Structures are given as C-alpha cells and as structure tokens.
C-alpha cells in the first residue's frame, strides 16, 4: 500500500447499516495493511480548530522563561510544558527538534482516577489556551470513541467493548511546535522514527509534507491529510491487544528542505489511552495456528510505565 486510505465517520454514525459496515470494512482493512487512515466527518469544527491553533501559537511565542514556569519534571512531562530537545525516540540518543504541551484527562466522576492522574496545568497568561484545549480534547476523545467502536465490530467484539476502558482514560492532547531550524542538525529530526504507545492516535496538522509512514516493504511514504481530515493510526497497545492483527506503524516527521528551515511547523496529536487497569492480554479471536500469541499479559498502566522509562521521561 502506497497511500493512506480516506474514510468518513459520518458513514459509521449514520442510520444506514450498509454505510456503517462499509466504514468498518474500510478502516479494518487499512489498519491491518498500513495502520493509518485519514478521517473526515469528525467532531472538531473549523472554528474550534482555528481557535486551538491560534492559542497554541500564542503559547509557544511566549518567552522561554515564561514557558519554563509550566515545566514539571517530577511528573515525567505528563502535564504542562516539555522544553526543546527533551524527548527522544526509543533507542535514539538525539533529542527530537520540538517543544510541546500536554493536556490530560478531565475526570469528573471518579475520585480514585482523579487522584491517580496529575492535574492539568493552567497557563495564567492565556486563559483561552486552557478552555480551548479542554474543548478540543473532549471532541477528539468523542471522535476516538466511535473509531474504536468500529474497530470493535471489525474484531468481532461487542460494539461498545472499548467504552468502559476509555471513559476517564489516561489520554493526552499534545500540541507540538517544531521551531525553525537554525543550523545543520546533528543526526536529529523533528520526530525520529517511532511507534506510538497508546490505543490510537488522532493527529491534527498533517497537511503538507513532513509526516512519513513506513509500509510493509520498508518504504517511507508521505502521509498528507486534507484540511478537513484527521490522520489516525494504531498504537502499540492496540497492536499488542490484537496480536499484531491491527498494525502499529512506524512513522516519523522529517526535516523540511533547506529553503524552508526558517519556518515553524505545528501539529496536534491526541493520544487515546485507556485506564491503567485495562488488560492488554491478546484477544482470543486474534490467535490461531498461523498467528500464535506473540505477547505476555500486561496492563495498560504497566506498559505505559515501561515505555516512559525507555523514552527517558521517567526514571
């Protein structure tokens, strides 16, 4: 497969059974073959998207000493600001050429989970940043819920199988700023080749070249979304849960050509995580003689901790 398939969520949430099944078939096939789709018909409207981009640009334009007030190392970067070059891909020494922010879950009905997650960090200088981030978080979470419902049907599970695990899940909205490149990078790229940790990732800002996906032949192909599309990929948790039936695809963000080094790039991924207690044990329907069980049993919380240590975000 040399291009990213496009699907429309409106087909799935319509009352047309044939359209709904066609959506399930298309997204299931895409995730088995390349692990990425471009999704139209999501719950983010254009006004919300424009407001979010405006607010994140306002934040990243703040003086570095102001931004660093919101960097909290003791929580492993799970909330608030993470400064330039702090994160590196698994197995890579060089830090990625980016700075970013984390919005986390807004728990309202579960005191135990509220205590488990760090509080969201409020930016005093930009009240609109906080409120717009929350609204975008909740619309992306709603979109992800329906994508996972479609995948549950594809996997012969009950349609709402994932709902119990993603309600109050440990999901993250991460606005990223890739600043202008001022000198030849030493083996560093904007985001080195990696797979995501979580169930699925919903990415805003994949218009224009930069994001690349590795297909099964090992070739890098450009993943470019239309302005009204989100790019959505499978993460390692879902790949593990389905015994690699659904593929967590390696992807990267390459540096622009030299004539564009003076430009910033912004992207906004939403990492859909389940609650920590979810068992990622391989689903029985995904094991057969040709595909024996490939992974040990583990919870989502245990798996996340392992990966954050590998990334150098917690010790």
Q: What is the mean pLDDT of residues 294-309?
A: 92
pLDDT at 77: 80
- What is the Cα gyration radius of the chain? 19
Q: Are 98 and 87 in contact (CB under 8 A)?
A: yes
CA 95 to chain centre: 19
- The lowest-confidence range among 29-38, 79-88, 276-285 is 79-88
pLDDT value at residue 179: 83
Mean pLDDT of all residues in 59-86: 88
Tens digits of per-residue pLDDT, 162-212? 999 999 999 999 999 988 876 666 665 556 788 899 999 999 876 667 788
pLDDT above 80 (res 232):
yes
Would you state the torsion angle of the CA atoms of residues 120, 126, 131, 136, taken in this order, to the nearest 10 degrees?
Answer: -90
Question: pLDDT value at position 86?
Answer: 56
Checking if the pLDDT of 94 tops 70, the result is no
- Flag whether pLDDT at 90 surpasses 70: no
What pLDDT, on the 0 to 100 scale, is given for residue 296? Answer: 95
Q: Do 209 and 224 contact (CB within 8 A), yes or no? A: yes
- Return the percentage of the chain with pLDDT > 70, whole number: 89
Q: How confident is the model at residue 154 (pLDDT cuts 50, 70, 90)?
A: very high
Round the average pLDDT of the chain to a whole number and report it.
Answer: 89
Q: Could you tell me the two tokens for 99?
A: 């700075």
Domain ranges of the chain: 6-310
Q: For the chain, what is the largest distance between any 2 Cα atoms, rounded to a whole number of angstroms?
A: 59
Q: Which of 6-15, 190-199, 238-247, 269-278 has the lowest mean pLDDT?
A: 190-199
Secondary structure (DSSP) of 247-287: ----EEEPPPPGGGTTS-EEEEEEEE---TT-B-PPPGGG-
Give me the mean pLDDT over the 73-95 stretch: 69
List the structure tokens of 272.
């859909």
**Interval 303-315: pLDDT, tens:** 998 888 887 767 6
Q: 7-64 pLDDT, tens per residue?
A: 999 999 998 999 999 999 999 999 998 889 999 999 999 999 999 999 999 999 999 9
The answer regarding whether domain 6-310 maps to CATH 3.20.20.60 reads no
Residue closest to 274 by CA, chosen among 240, 246, 313 = 240
Rounded mean pLDDT of 130-143?
97
**Torsion-angle region of 218 (φ positive above 0: left; ψ -120 to 50: alpha; else: beta):** left
| Confidence at residue 277, expressed as pLDDT on a 0 to 100 scale | 96
Confidence of residue 92 (pLDDT cuts 50, 70, 90): very low
């Amino acid at each position: 497969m040399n291009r990213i398939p496009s699907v429309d969520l409106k087909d799935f949430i319509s009352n047309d059974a044939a359209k709904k099944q066609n959506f399930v078939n298309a997204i299931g096939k895409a995730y088995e073959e390349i692990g990425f789709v471009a999704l139209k018909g999501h719950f983010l409207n254009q006004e919300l998207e424009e407001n979010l981009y405006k607010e994140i640009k306002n934040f990243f334009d703040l003086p570095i000493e102001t931004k660093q007030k919101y960097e909290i190392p003791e929580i492993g970067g799970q909330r608030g600001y993470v400064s330039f070059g702090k994160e590196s891909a698994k197995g890579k020494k060089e830090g990625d050429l980016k700075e970013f922010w984390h919005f986390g879950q807004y728990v309202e009905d579960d005191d135990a989970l509220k205590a488990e997650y760090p509080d969201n960090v409020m930016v005093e200088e930009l009240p609109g940043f906080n409120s717009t981030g929350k609204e975008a978080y909740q619309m992306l979470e709603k979109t992800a819920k329906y994508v996972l419902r479609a995948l549950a049907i594809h996997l012969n599970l009950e349609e709402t199988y994932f709902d119990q695990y993603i309600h109050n899940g440990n999901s993250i909205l991460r606005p990223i700023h890739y600043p202008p490149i001022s000198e030849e990078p030493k083996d560093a790229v904007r985001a080195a080749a990696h797979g995501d940790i979580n169930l699925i990732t919903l990415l805003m800002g994949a218009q224009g070249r930069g994001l690349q996906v590795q297909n099964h032949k090992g070739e890098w192909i450009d993943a470019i979304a239309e302005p009204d599309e989100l790019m959505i990929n499978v993460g390692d948790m879902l790949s593990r849960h389905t015994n690699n039936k659904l593929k967590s695809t390696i992807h990267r963000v390459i540096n622009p050509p030299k004539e564009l080094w003076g430009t910033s790039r912004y992207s906004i991924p939403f990492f859909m995580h389940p609650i920590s207690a979810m068992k990622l044990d391989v689903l029985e329907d995904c094991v057969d003689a040709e595909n024996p069980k490939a992974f040990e049993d583990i919870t989502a919380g245990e798996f996340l901790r392992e990966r954050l240590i590998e990334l150098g975000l917690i010790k």
